[in-house]
Amino acid sequence: MTTHIPVLLKETIEGLNPEKGETALDATLGGGGHSRALCARIGESGTFIGVDADEDAVLRAKEILSPCKARVILETANFRTIARILDNHGIKAINRAVFDLGLSSFQLEESNRGFSFQRSEPLLMTFEKNAPQEAVTAYDIVNQWREDSLEAILLGYGEERFARRIAKAIVSARREKPITSTDELVSVIVQALPWSYRNKRLHPATKTFQALRIAANDELGALKEGLFECFSRLAPRGRMAVISFHSGEDRIVKLFFKEQKNAGAAILISKKPIIPSREEQRENPKSRSAQLRILEKI
């Protein structure tokens, strides 16, 4: 059975410092760890809103939060639509909000949507379990995008130093037949790389898979919109915390927080990103790249 370990849980809850009766938002339900902790802190007089694009995460949250005494609202949606969700439930302002931008263990191990390069799955990588027909998938990107576009996302979103070689190999392979599964894509990637690069601690497909996932879900665009919408609905003295795992994400968060500070709209609770302790990194290796930033609205 899959077990999800929430990253930087103690630091996030302490930094947000939620109080009884407040309205709290978890914009990325994931495995439900941050949600459970927030619910416990706001108590029966509080309101909790949980959002996730993955309907499986919402179903898990219903079970995990069943003991929660607060008013609980759960929505299957992208966090870029936070304002609409709040309006639909008559909520004008929130006091605490958290964004955990990492993939949950459930998505990696149980979704069967191609997030993991360690098993053979369809090339989807959509956060939505039942994505609409017009949604962009990893299959579309791998089999239809131009070579220069592939190279650009591998370099920009994956920071893959061999982006050109991998993009060229993908285009060459798909001329023979479409690349339909994760294991087929992994094989193409590995064969495109120098032998020395194949035997690093990091799996050679890691950065390519990351880039494809970010592109398929427009993660950076959604993040910019979600941060803006969340901050616009944050009550005075309200706090928001964001846990990022990718330098592109962290740059967006850092810039947004800095802009709010410079505009006199917020203060930074964490002047530098908070990273997991050595103990947490040992216990949960997936936490190694996590960075937590927290601000408070003036």
pLDDT > 90? residue 271: no
State the pLDDT at residue 31. Answer: 87
Which residues have CB under 8 Å from 106's CB, separation 6+? 2, 4, 30, 31, 56, 57, 60
Pick the closest to residue 30 from 69, 64, 80 (CA basis): 64
Question: CB–CB of 267/125 below 8 Å?
Answer: no
pLDDT band at 5 (very low <50, low <70, confident <90, very high): confident
DSSP alpha helix (H) spans, 75-177: 82-88, 105-110, 138-144, 147-156, 163-176
pLDDT band at 2 (very low <50, low <70, confident <90, very high): low
Burial code of 102-115, b = ≥16 C-beta within 10 A, e = fewer?
Answer: bbbbbbbbebebbb
Entry field: residues in the chain: 298
Could you tell me the strand order of the sheet in which 291-297 lies?
71-76, 47-52, 23-26, 94-100, 234-244, 291-297, 266-268
Pick the closest to residue 297 from 255, 235, 254, 209 (CA basis): 235
Pick the closest to residue 52 from 232, 241, 217 (CA basis): 217
pLDDT band at 1 (very low <50, low <70, confident <90, very high): very low
- Which position has the higher pLDDT, 47 or 4? 47
Choose the CATH number for 137-216 among 2.40.50.140, 1.10.150.120, 1.10.490.10, 1.10.150.170.
Answer: 1.10.150.170
Q: Which amino acid is at 128?
A: E
Which residues have CB under 8 Å from 184's CB, separation 6+? 173
Q: What are phi and psi of 271, to 5 degrees?
A: -70, -30
Per residue in 109-145, pLDDT (tens digit) is 888 999 999 889 999 999 998 888 899 999 999 999 9
Q: Report the CATH number of the 9-106+219-297 domain.
A: 3.40.50.150
State the pLDDT at residue 111. Answer: 86
CA dist 205 and 207 (Å) reads: 6
Q: What is the mean pLDDT of residues 14-42?
A: 96
Give me 291's structure tokens.
């960075």
Which residues have CB under 8 Å from 87's CB, separation 6+? none
Per residue in 217-236, pLDDT (tens digit) is 999 999 999 999 999 999 99
Residues of the chain within CATH 1.10.150.170 domain(s) are: 137-216
Of the CA atoms within 13 Å of residue 134, those in its CB half-sphere come to 0
Residues of the chain within CATH 3.40.50.150 domain(s) are: 9-106+219-297
Question: CB–CB of 96/22 below 8 Å?
Answer: yes
Per residue in 251-269, pLDDT (tens digit) is 999 999 999 999 999 999 9
> What pTM value is reported for the model?
0.94
